[in-house]
Amino acid sequence: MHADAPALGDRGADALAGARHVAEQQGVVPWVGPLEEGPRLLGVGGPAPDEDACRQLADAERLGEPGLNPVRARTNCPGALVHGGVTVGGPPDDILGVVREHFLLDPDVVYLNHGSYGACPRPVFERYQAWQLELEREPAQYMEQLPDRLAAARAELAAFVGAKPDDLTFVPNATTGVNMAARALDLREGDEVLASDLEYGGCDLAWERLCSQTGARYVRAPIERLFEGRTERTRAVFVSHITSETALLLPVEEIVARARAEGLTTIVDGAHAIAQLDLDLDELGADFYAGNCHKWLCAPKGAGFVHVRPEWQERVDGAITSWGYAEPATFISRTERQGTRDSAAYLSVPEAIAFQREHDVRDRCVELAREARRELCALLGTEPLGPDEAIRQMASVRLPDANPDLSRRLFDEHRIEIPTMGPRRDDLLRVSVASYTEPADVERLLDALPISLRGATRRRAR
């Protein structure tokens, strides 16, 4: 799975993390748009509501603790804190309530981690199960009809992402697609692959391992100076459309155009882009583009794709060699006929596309994600990682200190699911705003965060 972080506590130390983190904070801004000089942090103060405003966040003695900028509320609760509040307008006709009813998530959990694994709405999940049931009822007939059904599903996905159906193939996740692209390059000793310093760790590992096996080099450069890392040995450029850890939209169009103009192969990790952005992959022109359908498109887990330009397709292999390689073999046959497996997630993608089109509240989600980031930065006393234009439905904020226990504390103490992440050091908190996310969910995070942070600080001080 193209998850966005290893399990809590599994992240190893990284000697280069500090340098990469500085690049993450400073380097992305020139690429995604100019920041105002000295990014302005919105104030969090405001008049305290009446009795309902008493937020039992902390004892009064710790309010001035470094790294938190709370405002003392003049209420009957001396330890209460008040933030500015999230005031995003509701969608028309209460569509938010309708959308929330469709999702199977635990109603007792504030789920702000959609970006890691997605969430499948009931109509899509029921279609997924119907495909599985049909397979079990009559396996032979199901398998006989599977190629035509997969072709129909690919056609709908291709139309959704602006591509030709035979130029993309289903894969379990975007990381699989990146691996397939990397192996198609046929790297040799001395070759170099140039990447930004903001890439997903799982893909970094894939490139590093392949390069170690072939004698090539995997070169990472700050995003704002990406092409300064190019040498005469550079063969390819690898970049994310929306970054995983820092949750920033990168100028992929400009990067792909320049790389192609300079004769470099382009590979784009679009794990978070599908359904967050309106895509036209043919117009983008990347040689390889890997995407997930289970994240923001809300398809079942195990549905992804890789789009490959025609001139590269003969060099792309499936995970195994099987009947798809029998002549006349094609890009689709080699990557699709991979033995007996459950294709229900792929076949359910059209249902996910239909759901997305019927319940498209992305503008509201983007607005809420940006407002959540402003409130979080103000509460934490940290600066935003980039301008609002770089934020879609995810936003990462820098924590005052690396805090590997914060996610667990927020869940155990407040039933809030949200990941910490960063360049292998847990110094970022990433909030996801999906179609089912309410302003009240963000409010609960703002209320709970000072308590969990303060509790962690106390434990370290003992």
What would the DSSP string read from start to end of 195-248? EETT--HHHHHHHHHHHHHHT-EEEEE-GGGGGGG--TTEEEEEEESB-SSS--
Assess whether 336 and 372 both reside in one domain.
Answer: no
Assess whether 451 and 381 both reside in one domain.
Answer: yes
Assess whether 73 and 216 both reside in one domain.
Answer: no
User: Under DSSP, is residue 26 helix (H, G, I), strand (E, B) or coil?
Assistant: helix
Give the residue numbers spanning the domain of 261.
Answer: 123-357
Local confidence band at 100 (pLDDT 50, 70, 90 cut-offs): confident
The pLDDT > 90 percentage for the chain reads 74
pTM over cut 0.85? no
Give CA 187 to chain center in angstroms.
28
CB 456 within 8 A of CB 403: yes
Q: Is the pLDDT of residue 136 over 60?
A: yes
Assess whether 180 and 277 both reside in one domain.
Answer: yes
Q: What is the pLDDT of residues 383-402, one digit of tens each?
A: 999 999 999 999 999 999 99
Is 137 inside any structural domain? Answer: yes
| Per-residue pLDDT, 422 | 74
- The full length of the chain comes to 462
Q: Is the model more confident about 278 or about 63?
A: 278
Q: How far apart are CA 76 and CA 178, in angstroms?
A: 56
Q: Is the pLDDT of residue 64 over 60?
A: no
Q: Is the model more confident about 3 or about 199?
A: 199
Q: Is the pLDDT of residue 159 over 60?
A: yes
Number of independent structural domains in the chain: 2
First to last CA, the chain: 38
Neighbours of 132 (CB within 10 A): 18
The last residue of one of the domains, among 330, 357, 384, is: 357
304-308 and 288-292 strand pairing: antiparallel
H-helix or E-strand spanning residue 111: strand 110-111
CB 53 within 8 A of CB 80: yes
Position 434, amino acid: A
The last residue of one of the domains, among 341, 357, 373, is: 357
| Per-residue pLDDT, 457 | 56
Assess whether 137 and 260 both reside in one domain.
Answer: yes
Neighbours of 116 (CB within 10 A): 18
Across residues 118-122, what is the average pLDDT?
97
Is 227 inside any structural domain? Answer: yes
Assess whether 230 and 319 both reside in one domain.
Answer: yes
The token pair that represents 233 in the structure block: 């040995």
Assess whether 190 and 315 both reside in one domain.
Answer: yes
Is 454 inside any structural domain? Answer: yes
* Average pLDDT for the chain: 83
Which CATH number covers residue 176? 3.40.640.10
Assess whether 277 and 419 both reside in one domain.
Answer: no
| Ordered strands of the 394-398 beta sheet | 394-398, 428-432, 420-421
Q: Which residues pair with 236 in a beta bridge?
A: 193, 265
Flag the least confident range among 242-251, 289-298, 416-425. 416-425
Assess whether 350 and 401 both reside in one domain.
Answer: no
Q: What is the pLDDT of residues 177-228, one digit of tens each?
A: 999 999 999 999 999 999 999 999 999 999 999 999 999 999 999 999 999 9
Assess whether 279 and 131 both reside in one domain.
Answer: yes
Q: Is the model more confident about 5 or about 116?
A: 116
Q: What is the pLDDT of residues 16-54, one digit of tens each?
A: 333 343 344 434 444 444 323 333 222 222 333 333 333
Neighbours of 131 (CB within 10 A): 20
Burial environment of residue 310 by CB neighbours within 10 A (0 to 12, 13 to 18, 19 or more): exposed
Q: Which residues of 427-453 are buried (b: 16+ CB within 10 A; e: fewer)?
A: bbbbbbbbbbbbbebbbbbbbbbbbbb
H-helix or E-strand spanning residue 424: none
Q: How far apart are CA 181 and CA 237, in angstroms?
A: 12
Q: What is the pLDDT of residues 334-376, one digit of tens each?
A: 999 999 999 999 999 999 999 999 999 999 999 999 999 999 9
CB 128 within 8 A of CB 300: yes
Assess whether 292 and 397 both reside in one domain.
Answer: no
The token pair that represents 44 in the structure block: 């969090």
The last residue of one of the domains, among 322, 357, 392, is: 357
Q: Could you give phi then psi for residue 364, rounded to 5 degrees?
A: -65, -40
Q: What is the pLDDT of residues 266-324, one digit of tens each?
A: 999 999 999 999 999 999 999 999 999 999 999 999 999 999 999 999 999 998 999 99
Assess whether 279 and 393 both reside in one domain.
Answer: no
Is 85 inside any structural domain? Answer: yes
Give CA 448 to chain center in angstroms.
24
